[in-house]
Amino acid sequence: MKSDYSNLLPLSPATLHVLLALTGGDLHGYGIMLEVARQSGGQYKMGPGTLYDNVKKLLKLGLIEEASAESSESEPRRKYHLTQIGSSVLASETERLTGVLREARRGLRLHEERHS
Amino acid sequence: MSNLQSQLYGAMIRLHPADFRNEFGREMTLDFEDALTSNGFARLYLDALLSLARQWAAYAFPQTTETPITQQSLLSGHYVMVSQGCLTFFDLARASILSAIFLLAIGFALTTSSSRITISLQASHEAQHKGITVAEANGQFPLSLQQTNVANHLASAPSWQTHSTRRGVPGRNLNGVETLRHDKRTGDTPSPELPNPLWRLAALIAFVSLATWLLHRNPHTGKKIIFTTLGFLTIAMPSAFGIMRMVPVHAQILHASGPVPSFEVATIRPWEPPPMPIGQPLPMKVSPGRLRGQVSDRVHFVGEAAILIASAYNLQLGHENHIVGAPAWVQQQSNRYEIQAKIEDSLYAAMQKMTPMQQREQVEFMEQSLLANRFKLKVHFETREMPIYALVVAKGGPKLSPAKEGESTRLFDTAESEHGIETTATAITLDDFARSPLVFGGRTVVDQTGLKGAYDFTLKWGREQPADSDTRQQNGADAPYLFTAIQEQLGLKLVPTKGPVEVIVIDHIEKPSAN
C-alpha cells in the first residue's frame, strides 16, 4: 500500500537537501554539509545550526535515524541514515518537483511561442 | 582557527535550549571547526544565531515542532514557501503577540536610557509646581521656584554683584531654599508618573511568560479571541510607552494649548539698577500670593528678555541656553526690563480656587501673552540633542548617609564665604538633588545612580574651578569646585553626555514699544 505523504510536502530546501544527501549513504553532520554543497554546485552551503535544526525535525518525524556507530572510529560522530519513510517522502517530493518542472517547462515553451 | 571564534561559537551553542544543546552541541562544535575555512565565521555565526532563535521559539511554542517539516514557522522566516496555505486565525494571533513582544522589548531597551531624563524632567516640573518655597530673611512666605530661579539668575549676574549682600563672592543665594516633598504638603493631585523600570521589566516578563504558557496549548475560539485582543493591546503598548515617555521632555516648557489670559494692565520699561544699600533684598519676580501676609494681585518682574521668556515658559534655572535663535540684546544685561502688572479682579478671584501649580501657570500664560503683545514674540518648540550631565556613582561608591526618620526634605546653604559655600541637604533623593537649583552650566542633570531613598549630606564647594589644588590653596579657596566636591564628598560623579532636550526657538522678537 502506498502511503500518502502529501501532508509532508513540499519539503523545505534545507530538508530536501539533507534527505538527498543521505541517499548516497550514512553521513555524519559535516558529511551532510559537504554533500549538500557538492550537490548544489557550491551554491548552497548549510551551516551546523540549520543542519541540526532539520536533523532534529527529521529524527522526530522518523524520516532519518541514527546509524549504528562504527567502533573503529577514534572520535565517533553520529551518522544519520535515511529511513524507508524518509526515502518515500523524498520520492514523493521528487515526483512533485518533477511535475512542477514539467509544468514550468511547458509554460515557458508556450510563453516563448506566443512571443516569437 | 581563532580561539576567540571558537569561544564565541561555543557561547552561542551554550545559549541554545538544554535539550538541543545536549543532543547536538558537541557535533555542532565539531562541524563548526571543520566548516570554518570553507564557510567563513560570519556565515556560521549567523547560522547559529538563527538556529538559536528557532530553537527557543520551538521551546516556547512546542506546537511549531509538532507541525510537519513543511509548516513554516512564523519565527523561523528562513525559507519562502510559495505553496504555503493561508495563515490561520491562530497564526495571526500568535504573530501579533510575538511581534508586540519584540516591539515592546525593543521599545523598552531604546527608551530606558531616556526614561530617567523624562521622568526627571517630569518630576522637576511637578516639584516646581508643588512645593518649592523661598524663605525671605525677614519672614516666610511662599513663592514659586521660578521666583527662586529668577533670584538666582539676578544674583549670579555680574551687574548684581555690586548690589549683592555677598559682595566679592559671585553670588547665588540658596539660603532658605526648601524643597517640600510634593503631594503630602500641598495636597495637589499628583501628575502621572511612570512606575519603576524594574516593575516595568517584571511586567514584561510576566506578560511574556503568560503568553508563552497560553500558546503552549491549542486554543479554542475563546482563547483565540483573547490572544488577538492581547496582540492588539501589546502592539499599542510600546507606542503608548514611547508617547508617555516623550511627553515629559516637553513638560518642562509650558505650552499653551489655546487662548491665554492677559494681565488687566501691564507696564514695561527699561530698567536701570538703582543704588542699593548692602542688605537690600534683590528685586525679583513676585507672583500673586501672600506677600508679607498681604494677598497680592500684582506681578513685579525685573530681568533681561531671556529671563522673562524663561519665566513665561517655565524654563529651569540656568537653562537660558535652551532659548535659541534670539538676537543678542535678549541676553544682554544692559537690556533689562521691569514689568509691573496687575491681574484682573475676576480672574484673580478665580485663581484663588486654583492650586498653586494652576495659579503659577495662569501667571506664566499671562506673561506669554504680554511677551507676544509687547515684544511681538513668536516662538516654536523643537527637541534637540543637547549636552546633559548624568549623575552616576563614582569609583569607591557613594558616601551618603541615609536620611533620619521624620526629616523634611531640605536643600539650603548653611554657610557662604569667599572661600566657598556649604550646602546642606536633609532627606533628599538623588533625583531631587539632580534637579536642584545648583547650577550645572545650564545643563540638565539626570540621576542615573540607581540609588533609591533619601540621604543627608553636607557639601562644601567653591564656585570657581581652580587650575589645580596649589592654585586653590594660594587663592585661599579651600572648597573644591562643585563637580570635584560632589565626587570627593558624595562619591558621585557628573558625566557629560547627550540627551533629548526641548528648546524654545525664537522666530521673532523685538524690543518692546513704549507704554
Local confidence band at A44 (pLDDT 50, 70, 90 cut-offs): confident
Mean pLDDT of B272-295: 50
Q: CATH: 1.10.10.10, 2.60.40.10, 3.20.20.80, 1.10.357.10. Which one for A11-114?
A: 1.10.10.10
Distance of residue B103 Cα from the nearest chain A Cα, in angstroms? 26
Q: Nearest C-alpha of chain B: how many angstroms from A112?
A: 24
Nearest-by-CA chain B residue for A100:
B83
Q: Does any CB of chain B come closer than 8 Å to the CB of residue A54? A: yes
Going along B334-403, which residue ranges are E strands?
336-342, 378-393, 401-402
Burial B452-474 (b: 16+ CB within 10 A, else e): eebbbbebbbbbeebeeeeebee
Residue A74, pLDDT above cutoff 60 = no
Question: By CA distance, what is A31's nearest residue in B?
Answer: B31
d(CA B417, CA B423): 12
User: How close is the nearest chain B Cα to the Cα of A116, in Å?
Assistant: 29
Q: Chain A: give the shortest CA distance to residue B32, in Å.
A: 7
- Buried b or exposed e, range B149-168, using 16+ CB within 10 angstroms: bbbbbbbbbeebeebbbbee
Looking at the whole model, is its pTM more than 0.80?
no
Task: Out of A72-76, B111-115, B264-268, pick the least confident.
Answer: B111-115
d(CA A95, CA B449): 66
- All three cell numbers of A101, joined, read 518542472
Confidence of residue B442 (pLDDT cuts 50, 70, 90): low
User: Is the minimum CB–CB distance between A14 and chain B shorter than 8 Å?
Assistant: yes
Q: Quick count: other Cβ atoms within 10 Å of Cβ B302? A: 19
Three-state SS letters, B126-156: HHHHHCEEEEECCEECCCCHHHHHHHHHHHH
Nearest to A18 by CA among A3, A5, A34: A34
Separation in Å, CA of B211 to nearest CA in chain A: 24
Cα(B54)–Cα(B247) distance, rounded to whole angstroms?
38
Do residues B449 and B460 lie in contact, with contact meaning Cβ atoms separated by under 8 Å?
A: no
Residues B49 and B54: their CA atoms lie apart, in Å, by: 9
Say which range, A105-109, B96-100, B279-283, B333-337, has the weakest mean pLDDT: B279-283
The C-alpha atoms of residue A45 and residue A50 are separated, in whole angstroms, by 10
Q: What confidence tens digit (pLDDT) does each residue in B406-424 have?
A: 777 777 766 777 777 788 8
Q: Are residues B68 and A77, on separate chains, in Cβ contact within 8 Å?
A: no
Name the average pLDDT for chain B: 67
Instruction: Tell me the per-residue pLDDT of B457-512, one tens digit each, with 9 for 90 and over.
Output: 888 887 665 555 454 444 444 556 778 888 888 899 888 888 777 888 999 998 88
Task: Output the nine-digit C-alpha cell for B439.
Answer: 547650577
Residue ranges per structural domain of chain A: 11-114
Contact across the interface for B24 and A56, Cβ inside 8 Å: yes
pLDDT tens, B332-361?
877 888 888 888 888 888 888 887 777 778
Q: Do A48 and B23 touch (CB under 8 A)?
A: no
Return d(Cα B129, Cα B144) in angstroms, integer.
7
DSSP-derived secondary structure letter, A7: G
Spatial separation of the C-alpha atoms in residues B98 and A55, rounded to whole Å: 26
Residue A47 to residue B39, Cβ atoms within 8 A: yes
φ, ψ for residue B58, nearest 5 deg: -65, -35
DSSP β-bridge partners for residue A65? A81
CA-nearest residue of chain B to A43?
B39
Exposure of B117 in the CB half-sphere (CA atoms within 13 A): 24
ipTM of the complex: 0.85
CA B65 to chain centre: 46
Could you tell me the end-to-end alpha-carbon distance of chain B, in angstroms, rounded to an integer?
A: 83
- Other residues' Cβ atoms within 10 Å of the Cβ of residue B104: 21
Pick left, alpha or beta for residue B466 (phi over 0 → left; psi -120 to 50 → alpha; otherwise beta): beta
Q: Is the dihedral of CA B123, B124, B129, B131 positive or negative?
A: positive
- Radius of gyration over every alpha carbon of chain A, rounded to an integer in angstroms: 17
Q: How many CA atoms lie within 13 A of B234 on its CB side?
A: 28
pLDDT at res. B110? 58
Among chain B residues, the shortest Cα distance to A93 is held by B70
B482, HSE (Cβ side, Cα atoms, 13 Å): 13
Which H or E run contains B413?
Answer: strand B410-417
B453: phi > 0 → left, psi -120 to 50 → alpha, else beta; which?
A: left
Grid coordinates belonging to B414: 548653611
Q: Given an 8 Å threshold on Cβ–Cβ distance, is A45 in contact with B43?
A: yes
Q: What is the pLDDT of residues B175-201, one digit of tens each?
A: 333 333 333 333 333 333 444 556 666
The answer to whether the Cβ–Cβ distance between A12 and B70 falls below 8 Å is yes
Q: Which residues of A touch B65 (CB under 8 A)?
A: 57, 60
Residue pair B172/B413 in contact (Cβ under 8 Å)? The answer is no
Whose CA is closest to B143, among B317, B289, B253? B289
Contact B35 A12 (CB under 8 A): no
Q: What integer pLDDT is reported at residue B152 of this predicted model?
A: 38
Question: Is residue B250 helix, strand or coil?
Answer: helix
- B23 CB neighbours in chain A (<8 A) are 56
